Amino acid sequence: MAKIISYNVNGIRSAVSKGLLDWLKKTDPDIICLQEIKAMPEQLDKEVHEKLHDFAYWYPAQKKGYSGVAIFSKHKPDHVEYGCGIKKYDDEGRILRADFGDVSVMSVYFPSGTMGDVRQDFKYEFLDDFRKYIDTLKRKRTKLIICGDLNICHKSIDIHNPVANANSTGFLPEERAWIDDFLKSGFIDTFRHFNKEPHNYTWWSFRANSRAKNLGWRIDYHLVSNSLEKQLKRSIILPEAKHSDHCPLMVEIDL
């Protein structure tokens, strides 16, 4: 049984200062996928590297203090793929893939559209290009586990106030339709596979005491190829972990 955690840490150095490493040791996942690491590996203390899993793969953004993803694993992957081959996304460190036998685990960080129309357009371009990338990839890698921050709430159940946020980036009709189509192309939203209940979120604004009031958004996912459905055992959100404005989520899968 493999435990795979996905976590947007909103800066790994900040998360470490809030007890991330001790939490990971206690939780003991087999694979950890981080997003928004906001650091180069050489910027981290030696202790951080020593306490992480034996096999660590970093894909930071070219711009310091911004974006970036990482994968840490107890077992050495057969292959690690950095980026998707499109420079404007790869410069921002958005996609990292590790292959373990016939299963591929990806840490992905989708763009946010919160900085205005230019970045929203960039986000739409990314959505189109990511779909094409995955459609091509799954021809040779048929068992994909996509872990990460998609910066999109799929349905009304996934956001605390769907009416007020109807025109907010991250909950726009076009974005939500993209997830619909992506899932129909052969993927399972693992959390919703097991849990249909409302009020389950993975991100809360720092404003207005949102986390304490559970006024959140579910924008982080494990999306798994349909071919792995029978191997899924559990998928949960872990809101008690408070090292970021996001919380981690975990999927357990029989590999």
Residues recognised as catalytic: 149
Convert the chain into a string of H (helix), E (strand) and C (coil).
CEEEEEEECCCHHHHHHCCHHHHHHHHCCCEEEEECCCCCHHHCCHHHHHHCCCEEEEECCCCCCCCCEEEEECCCCCEEEECCCCHHHHCCCCEEEEEECCEEEEEEECCCCCCCHHHHHHHHHHHHHHHHHHHHHCCCCCEEEEEEECCCCCCHHHECCCCCCCCCCCCCHHHHHHHHHHHHCCEEEHHHHHCCCCCCCCEECCHHHCCCCCCEECCEEEEEEHHHHHHEEEEEECCCCCCCCECCEEEEECC
